[in-house]
Amino acid sequence: MGISVLETAFGSLMTLVHANIIKLPDLVHRLTVGPASVLGAKYNGLSHLGTGSFADIVLIDTEEKWTVNTNKFNSKGKNTPLESSELRGKVKLTIANGQIAYEDMPND
């Protein structure tokens, strides 16, 4: 059994941004362009937004503080050493293939 990082990756890595260890554009690059480049030419559309590219977008709140609660995870993986930790930075909306795949937005 491994450790689940899907829901906590962004908030955990934002710790580096808030501590001025890396800049936000560098983090975004490492989470997007970096992994896409490993996949090869077939997936070049994943590394940028533009005409003909995949409509995959993530909206983030870099300041939102939240407490890790595995009972609220969407994934089946619930094993994390970060349970009950407070993180700062959260994914608010994910659009994949032009469709909303995840949403954590207020219902106004």
Residues 101 and 94: their CA atoms lie apart, in Å, by: 6
Nearest to 17 by CA among 65, 71, 89, 72: 89
For residues 57 and 95, is the Cβ–Cβ distance under 8 A?
A: yes
pLDDT tens digit sequence for 79-90: 788 999 999 999
Strand order in the sheet with 86-96: 57-67, 86-96, 99-103
Check whether 1 has a pLDDT greater than 70: no
Which CATH entry fits the domain spanning 9-103: 3.40.50.300, 3.30.930.10, 2.40.10.10, 2.30.40.10?
2.30.40.10
For 67-81, how does the pLDDT look when each residue is reduced to its tens digit (9 = 90+)? 999 888 877 778 788
Mean pLDDT of 26-52: 81
**Is the pTM value of this prediction over 0.85?**
no
* Structure tokens belonging to residue 37: 């480049």
8 within 8 A of 87, measured Cβ to Cβ? yes
Nearest to 88 by CA among 67, 59, 57: 67
